[in-house]
Structure 1
């Protein structure tokens, strides 16, 4: 049996995949390995954790700044792992780089969860950091370490780290069993900590995390998200029972998915369990997850009478707030994953949005429209991935990219000196290959300006979902997919 997918050879998805993974090397913090391919980046933040006598060297910078925010870093890791689990077979030589991108994060999260009863949630004072425009290699702002504990809990950040470790444990299971088991054991321990000592880290850490990455919708969705991944990794009924017992405490929103909201991701991930007739869970409660996964589709598809997102005239999916590309990539990832789950399930593979019947192939078409828009099929004819195509953003809101590299300017550039480079009318001297920026406005207009950070700033959580998307389209480009 085959699902025919009409995929034109409009873009080199393999090239874009390679570059999307290169971006993560540009975001590395810590001691860089000899295999580092973004060579204008150098070692940085080699004393992180020193203030609390713990080793927190490594991990990723989330965006343009030099703070390590563990909440979005963990979501990024979960999405990279999910992408490999779903689409790793299509990645070819880039699969090894995907493993490396995940392990750079999981090695770090093992450090961040090494002390029982403590989860390190952030490194770097965001206020001191954001006052400066410095290369990560030069930064001299406070590297304050922030932790959540039993007395100052942070269930959302702890649970997301547990989800990342659980998902990643499956990635490494086939070829590094010892490391996989270590990740899974740690995921279980961190989840229990997150669940037992409940509370939001915005209350315990306050201004350190807000308004930067404070959770706007609570921590319950992260707890269920982590339990869902632990169930997927272990098949233990304890985690399934946890999910089904607590799922009704989460608000019924269907098009929300990203670093702060896991609702649609939970429904898509667990719909596969429900749709499997060979699973006793199906008999248990077939009303769970699948109907809400269908509602997610109906909330996103352009022709759906119940859609809750908007589209630009050029076809880009839009939700309120800055850094809009995070929604286009994350929701497109879910559409592709769900279409593959749906395929092969007979009549239940059709999604009904009131009177509109939607086949799995339509989900693929919508996702393809988004990734093609990002890569250049848009009114501006601009690729929003740095280094892909002939026309792409040259003035991205990113310190390391906008300041001269250590190779070109070995002398220290202090906090105030960096401002002249920020204000320069010259393009960024260092290409952050593969970075996807926040993107154009609702009218498809993009101002290539460092100052316009809502549109010109790249983030790890924009890029993470697109890795799997690009691997999928690389696999089906110009042919049919074998079901």
Structure 2
């Protein structure tokens, strides 16, 4: 008994030291209700990658794991004489919106660039590459000429008249493009960024494909930069769904810095330096990172170049980028003197009512990546209210993820399919209706509304890995199919979390190894 008591005292003391080392106790500085739950990050990583198979458009492959889905959109582009079969539906509807689709692929690619070895360790590397390639294969098709990019298939207005499975679509599948007469620098720039980032991902496993992606990325950037204009002015049906509020300058900077990372061609980096002021890269202090506003992403990537000796001559400009990146990160942590992101009473970042989780997931990703960068270079984050350690930043990002997974006042996992309590009535046409596999009979436009939309029963199919819009400003959530503000999920919500799940799985595995090591020491 005495030996066991001694073992417990030593073990507890060492665990306390280890937790202090990780600064996990410091969550309370920023997060009022720190999680004491334990979550299976490996499982949610697997779930999150499975979600993208549920969002696939086109001819599904033989290894399709989301078996309740079937082929759809097989004539996309036919009316315009171009093959636009493939790609992703953005959310719970059946439109293919190019701008958010490209942002989704950029985020997925960035996650693999940062944490590819962790994906491999979790057995999910091939699934991550498949998710990226499903998007980039489509972008190659959609980029039919150096100065032509097909940026949308279908339109929200007619699509929303119907509640149909994608396999049964009777709504318009008209395709819309941007070109020299009808420019669209946002969608050209974001697609260039996506293909440049993906080219880095495929460089080792598929060098020919990586080269092809880079070729398209360079052409698209040149097109978007030479023929500048807002894409939603050229494609009017995008307005009201994915309107470009921030304009296209952030996307051009975003594309340029990803092209620099993919090529190490200084011309692209000089573009980021020379246009930093005029395009807002060094002047815009933002508090969100999204499919529309890329500044925080550009600023974070530029900041990470500061430690490289070859960039010393541009140190002043990079410091300006860093200042704005730190403003965003400190805003998320609530450590600015002003312009902080508010928290719900339960501790969730809250930017706005509609699909708030997209801002939580992107913030969690940037905080995680930047904390690892600071850890690697031995630095801390400088905020108005003090310096923040990399461990504290990661702990806050983890608190946001844990809230998503169930450590919240509702006890709800907002990642569908994970945990004992998750949304059952996701606002999603295909998931809500009996699957094509079970019922191959045609389900009409209004029939879906009559028989499926208004039902109180749970969805027929579980949209595993989807991150829904989430709770309101007071942590309340209503699991109703018609409550699209809270129950609709989007690809870019989940895309931002994939890399974070891989990183937290590593952290969890390390913690378990350390605990085992501490037990071994205490046994001595």
TM-score, structure 1 as length reference:
0.96
**Higher mean C-alpha displacement, 90-99 vs 301-310:** 301-310
Q: 2:137 aligns with which of 90, 107, 117?
A: 107
Q: Tell me whether 1:451 sits opposite 2:507 in the alignment.
A: no
Q: Secondary structure of 2:501's partner? A: helix
Q: Take 1:448 and 1:304, find their aligned partners in 2: how far apart are those partners?
A: 35
Report the equivalent of 1:394.
424
Report the equivalent of 1:314.
346
Q: Take 1:184 and 1:4, find their aligned partners in 2: how far apart are those partners?
A: 42
In structure 2, relative to structure 1, the CA distance for the partners of 1:456 and 1:282 (3 Å cut) is: same
Q: 2:276 aligns with which of 247, 254, 258?
A: 247
Q: 2:410 aligns with which of 377, 380, 388?
A: 380
In structure 2, relative to structure 1, the CA distance for the partners of 1:302 and 1:135 (3 Å cut) is: same
Report the equivalent of 2:491.
460
Q: Over aligned residues, Cα RMSD in angstroms?
A: 1.8
What do residues 31-80 of structure 1 show as CA deviations (whole Å, max 9, x unaligned)? 00001000000000000000111100000000000000000000000000
| Superposition map of 1:18-29 within 5 A | 18-29=46-57
Q: Tell me whether 1:55 sits opposite 2:86 in the alignment.
A: no
Report the equivalent of 1:87.
115
Report the equivalent of 2:6.
none
* Deviation (angstroms), 1:321: 3.9
Q: Take 2:238 and 2:317, find their aligned partners in 1: how far apart are those partners?
A: 38
In structure 2, relative to structure 1, the CA distance for the partners of 1:449 and 1:197 (3 Å cut) is: same
| Superposition map of 1:63-462 within 5 A | 63-91=91-119, 92-206=122-236, 208-251=237-280, 252-277=284-309, 279-280=311-312, 283=315, 285-346=317-378, 349-420=379-450, 421-462=452-493
Retained in 2: the 8 A contact 1:380–1:444? yes
Q: Take 1:125 and 1:306, find their aligned partners in 2: how far apart are those partners?
A: 40
Q: Secondary structure of 1:439's partner? A: coil
* Deviation (angstroms), 1:393: 0.3
In structure 2, relative to structure 1, the CA distance for the partners of 1:14 and 1:235 (3 Å cut) is: same
Q: Secondary structure of 2:22's partner? A: coil
Retained in 2: the 8 A contact 1:298–1:307? no
Paired residues, number:
478
Retained in 1: the 8 A contact 2:23–2:392? no
Retained in 2: the 8 A contact 1:274–1:288? no
What do residues 186-234 of structure 1 show as CA deviations (whole Å, max 9, x unaligned)? 100010000000000111122x100111101110000000000000111
Q: Take 2:414 and 2:359, find their aligned partners in 1: how far apart are those partners?
A: 14
Retained in 2: the 8 A contact 1:4–1:480? no
In structure 2, relative to structure 1, the CA distance for the partners of 1:10 and 1:230 (3 Å cut) is: same
* Deviation (angstroms), 1:172: 0.2
Q: Secondary structure of 2:74's partner? A: coil
Q: Take 1:391 and 1:6, find their aligned partners in 2: how far apart are those partners?
A: 30
Q: Secondary structure of 1:43's partner? A: coil
**Higher mean C-alpha displacement, 45-54 vs 286-295:** 286-295
In structure 2, relative to structure 1, the CA distance for the partners of 1:10 and 1:51 (3 Å cut) is: same
In structure 2, relative to structure 1, the CA distance for the partners of 1:478 and 1:180 (3 Å cut) is: closer
Retained in 2: the 8 A contact 1:5–1:364? no
* Deviation (angstroms), 1:281: 5.2
TM-score, structure 2 as length reference:
0.88
In structure 2, relative to structure 1, the CA distance for the partners of 1:362 and 1:202 (3 Å cut) is: same
Q: Take 2:97 and 2:145, find their aligned partners in 1: how far apart are those partners?
A: 19
Q: Secondary structure of 1:61's partner? A: coil
Q: Secondary structure of 2:276's partner? A: helix
Q: Secondary structure of 1:357's partner? A: strand
Q: Take 1:17 and 1:427, find their aligned partners in 2: how far apart are those partners?
A: 24
- The higher-RCO structure (CA 8 Å, 6+ apart) is 1
Structure 1 unaligned spans of 5+? none
* Deviation (angstroms), 1:332: 0.8
Q: Take 1:261 and 1:275, find their aligned partners in 2: how far apart are those partners?
A: 26
Q: Tell me whether 1:469 sits opposite 2:500 in the alignment.
A: yes
Q: Take 2:455 and 2:73, find their aligned partners in 1: how far apart are those partners?
A: 26
Q: Take 1:18 and 1:439, find their aligned partners in 2: how far apart are those partners?
A: 21
